[in-house]
Amino acid sequence: MWNKPQETVKGTPLGEHAEIDPTTGLQKDYRILPAEEREKGYVRPVRLQYTHEACGVVTQMALAIAETYARTPGFYGATYCVACRTHFPVGKDGEFVWEDGSKVGT
pTM: predicted TM-score of the whole model, two decimal places:
0.91
- Is there a contact between 7 and 34 (Cβ–Cβ < 8 Å)? yes
User: Which secondary-structure segment (H or E) carries 31?
Assistant: strand 31-32
Rg (C-alpha) for the chain, rounded Å, is: 13
Domain chopping of the chain, boundaries = 7-97
At 75-98, the pLDDT tens digits run 999 999 999 999 999 999 999 999
pLDDT for 40-73, tens place per residue?
Answer: 999 999 999 999 999 999 999 999 999 999 999 9
